[in-house]
């Protein structure tokens, strides 16, 4: 059986949904003739035609506005942001309009806004960001961050079928680095459900996105020292799987919160508060965070390497916490 990349998994998911549901269409910059900056939409124009694979002007606000309008008319649009960094241009459309429609007059807005986020590819400050928290802070939206090819496909399909706006962040570092065998039959991954990637007893690492693989690498290393990490992949941030987080913390009693996003206002802070609030008496050590520092993503490769959380950071914090 052939291995499917993370990128190809997203493409397959969109393709299958477009094939099975006429209401689904995609729009964005260069998604048609060019096949998308990263080739996520390659071949779709030929297969589904110009009416369902639409090249747009360079205006994220217009892309999202159009998608919202089409959704209100009964369509299921997928709006591609060429880089997730530029989703901020559509901030008002997303947060003030799409997120609020159901609350204001009961109108669901079934759109998916998707785009590549994350660093590690020397993209510099405008092409490497992790903008998820702006949207996690907006009730009415759903936010997902898949890390595996299986989840990438299962979550894009779930997002397309969801009756409300879903922001789908695909990590560009994983696009062609992650490959796995996928089921041939149709499946979805439920939004709001975490996955335990590694069972362990000593310390829980709660993470998502590309950092999940760092946690697994660190776990392999720490296993030699007798430190047994549990790795929980959140997969969805809004809503997130609070039960899975608390269950893991209650089992291991020590927790590291790991994300690639910057520190202040990052998701780790929200998790830390919830854990302290609801599992305080299960903690055998301080809640530790490993995140990028509070700066823009550096362009210089050595600086970017310094900026991004590393396996060595996890090793250091896990050892400290284990001895605590």
280 sits near another protein (criterion: CB under 8 A): yes
Which residues, numbered 224-263, are part of the site for another protein (CB under 8 A)? 253
Residue placing its CB nearer to another protein in the complex, 42 or 246: 246
283 sits near another protein (criterion: CB under 8 A): yes
Query: CA geometry: angle at 102 spanning 101 and 103, to 5°?
Result: 90
Residue placing its CB nearer to another protein in the complex, 61 or 253: 253
134 sits near another protein (criterion: CB under 8 A): no
Give 198's strand partners.
Answer: 231
Radius of gyration for the alpha carbons in the chain, expressed in angstroms and rounded: 20
Residue placing its CB nearer to another protein in the complex, 269 or 285: 285
Of 106-114, 126-134, 257-265, 276-284, which part binds another protein (CB under 8 A)?
276-284
Helices (H) and strands (E) in the chain, counts: 12, 14
Residue placing its CB nearer to another protein in the complex, 91 or 282: 282
C-alpha to C-alpha distance for 198 and 31, rounded to whole angstroms? 37
Residue placing its CB nearer to another protein in the complex, 2 or 323: 323
Total residues at the site for another protein (CB under 8 A)? 10
Using an 8 Å Cβ cutoff, are 241 and 194 in contact?
A: yes
Q: What is the nearest approach in angstroms of another protein to the Cβ of residue 203?
A: 11
127 annotated active-site: yes
Among 1, 27, 192, which residue's Cα sits nearest to residue 111? 27
Q: CB within 8 A of 276, min separation 6: which ones?
A: 283, 287
Of 32-40, 144-152, 281-289, 293-301, which part binds another protein (CB under 8 A)?
281-289
C-alpha to C-alpha distance for 308 and 201, rounded to whole angstroms? 27
Q: What is the nearest approach in angstroms of another protein to the Cβ of residue 254?
A: 8
Among residues 286, 293, 294, 312, the one that binds another protein under rule CB under 8 A:
286
C-alpha to C-alpha distance for 155 and 322, rounded to whole angstroms? 34
277 sits near another protein (criterion: CB under 8 A): no
Residue 52 neighbours by CB distance under 10 Å: 20
324 sits near another protein (criterion: CB under 8 A): yes
Assign 32 to helix, strand or coil: coil
State the residue for tokens 């205006």. Answer: 59
Name the residues that contact another protein, by CB under 8 A: 253, 280-286, 323-324
Q: Please give the positions annotated as active site.
A: 127
């Amino acid at each position: 059986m052939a291995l499917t990349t993370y990128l190809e998994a997203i493409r397959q998911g969109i393709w299958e949904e477009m094939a099975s549901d006429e209401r689904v269409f995609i729009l964005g910059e260069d998604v048609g003739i060019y096949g998308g900056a990263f080739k996520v939409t390659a071949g779709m124009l030929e297969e589904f035609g110009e009416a369902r694979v639409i090249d747009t002007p360079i205006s994220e606000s217009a892309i999202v506005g159009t998608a919202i309008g089409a959704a209100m008319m009964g369509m299921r649009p997928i709006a591609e942001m060429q880089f997730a960094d530029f989703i901020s241009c559509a901030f008002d459309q997303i947060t003030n309009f799409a997120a609020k429609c159901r609350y204001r007059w009961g109108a669901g807005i079934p759109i998916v806004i998707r785009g590549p986020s994350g660093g590690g590819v020397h993209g510099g400050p405008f092409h490497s960001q992790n903008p998820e928290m702006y949207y996690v802070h907006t009730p009415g939206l759903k936010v997902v961050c898949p890390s595996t090819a299986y989840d990438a496909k299962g979550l894009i399909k779930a997002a397309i079928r969801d009756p409300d706006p879903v922001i789908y962040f695909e990590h560009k570092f994983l696009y062609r680095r992650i490959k796995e065998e996928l089921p041939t039959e149709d499946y979805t991954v439920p939004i709001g459900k975490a996955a335990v990637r590694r069972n362990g007893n000593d310390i829980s690492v709660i993470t998502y996105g590309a950092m999940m693989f760092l946690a697994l690498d660190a776990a392999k290393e720490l296993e030699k020292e007798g430190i047994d990490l549990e790795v929980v992949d959140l997969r969805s941030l809004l809503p997130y799987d609070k039960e899975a987080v608390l269950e893991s913390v209650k089992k291991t009693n020590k927790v590291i919160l790991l994300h690639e996003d910057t520190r202040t206002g990052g998701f780790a802070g929200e998790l830390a508060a919830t854990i302290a609030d609801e599992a305080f008496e299960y903690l055998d050590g301080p809640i530790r965070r490993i995140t990028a520092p509070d700066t823009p993503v550096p362009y210089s490769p050595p600086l970017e390497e310094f900026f991004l959380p590393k396996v060595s950071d996890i090793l250091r914090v896990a050892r400290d916490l284990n001895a605590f």
